[in-house]
Amino acid sequence: MCSLHAQLLRRLAGLKAPKMSAHLFLSVLVNPTNSSESHKSAIVFPGQGSQFPGMARELFEQSLDARALLTQANDILGFSLTDIMFGGSEEDLRRTDVTQPAIFVHSVAQFVARPDLQPAMTAGHSLGEFSALVAAGVLRFEDALPLVARRAQAMQAACEEQPGTMAAILGLDDATVERICQEITDAGAVVVAANYNCPGQLVISGSAEGVAKACEALKAAGAKRALPLPVGGAFHSPLMQSAAAALAEAIEKTTFGEARCPVYQNVDALPHSSPAEIKANLLRQLTAPVRWTQLVQQMAADGATEFVECGPGKVLQGLVKKIVPTAVLG
């Protein structure tokens, strides 16, 4: 294993074009048959908002595996993503065409730098689902990164075509949030539940008018807080429909393999291994809510004994503990 690891690492480091690289290396890492029945690690990957200046620099400096993958990412994208990740400002990292690839690359690099991880299951929050698919062997890194870049471009275009916003609702039950959003939408202003982050924390998304009306109505219904979020669009809402259409063609042209371990997907919080199901769910995700609360509960119910977050920050670990207080964090 050590000899093969070294050979793969040398080949990965020497690549100039996206012919082969992380896929073969990751196929060695992702081997659920090595996971004992009594110990099941759930590897989870964060989404947009977890970026920060200097992200992945430490990985680049300390891990040859991560360095090779980060270098390859620059080649695939045709610009130096790592220059922006390492030395860019917060403003630079807020650009959608930078943010999503940066978080994806950082997350996969951290996973690659941890050959001790043997996932029994994977999941990712929104954008993080692409990292989860690479970790599960469904997508090759060199195929997934262009998809992430295309997704970012499509979402930005959708934001410009149909402007919208989001807000975090704290301290109110999901059913009440859903009911009030539906009433406002029925009255003509679009607003929907978008992110079920943890019990008592739900993000809504929609038109500026719809979100503003919902915030007022939800506070009147007993929400502790209704916080507008500094985002550029109505993500995970019907206003992202044009982005889904734009991404569909790219997904159909990309090879998806059978998952080597179950991938728990955002749209239904259930485990999937079939390429056809995974593709369909990736497209639905753009206009459907992220069911993170239900997803983590399902992973725990299916035997996850440890949750390990790979990527910038530790936001998901905090959410996991709120969803499953007894969860062990790796």
Catalytic pick among 236, 237, 242, 272: 236
96 pLDDT band (50/70/90 cuts)? confident
Active site residue 236: yes
Alpha-carbon distance of 68 to 61, in angstroms, equals 11
CATH architecture of 2-159+240-323: 3-Layer(aba) Sandwich (3.40)
Mean local confidence (pLDDT), 151-174: 95
CA-nearest of 150, 57, 31, 147 to 110 is: 57
Span 246-282, pLDDT tens digits: 999 999 999 999 999 999 999 999 999 999 999 999 9
| Domain ranges, ordered by start, for the chain | 2-159+240-323, 164-231
Q: Are 204 and 219 in contact (CB under 8 A)?
A: no
Span 27-46, pLDDT tens digits: 434 444 444 457 899 999 99
**DSSP code of residue 157:** H
Span 6-18, pLDDT tens digits: 332 332 333 333 3
The per-residue b/e assignment along 291-323, b for 16 or more CB within 10 angstroms, e otherwise, is bbbbbbebbbeeebeebbbbbbbebbbebbbbb
Catalytic pick among 41, 50, 107, 126: 126
Span 218-243, pLDDT tens digits: 999 999 999 999 888 999 999 999 99
Phi-psi region of 179 (alpha: psi -120 to 50; beta: other; left: phi over 0): alpha
Between 2-13 and 64-77, two packed helices, what is the crossing angle to 10 degrees? 30
CATH superfamily of 164-231: Malonyl-CoA ACP transacylase, ACP-binding (3.30.70.250)
Active site residue 36: no
Query: Is it the case that residue 309 has pLDDT exceeding 80?
Result: yes
Q: How far from 83 is each of 17, 86, 148, CA to CA, in Å?
A: 19, 5, 19
19 or 211, greater pLDDT = 211
Query: Is it the case that residue 149 has pLDDT exceeding 90?
Result: yes
Q: What is the DSSP string of 233-288?
A: S-TTSGGGHHHHHHHHHHHHTS--PPPSS-EE-TTT--EE--HHHHHHHHHHHTTS
Alpha-carbon distance of 324 to 300, in angstroms, equals 8
Radius of gyration of the chain (CA): 19
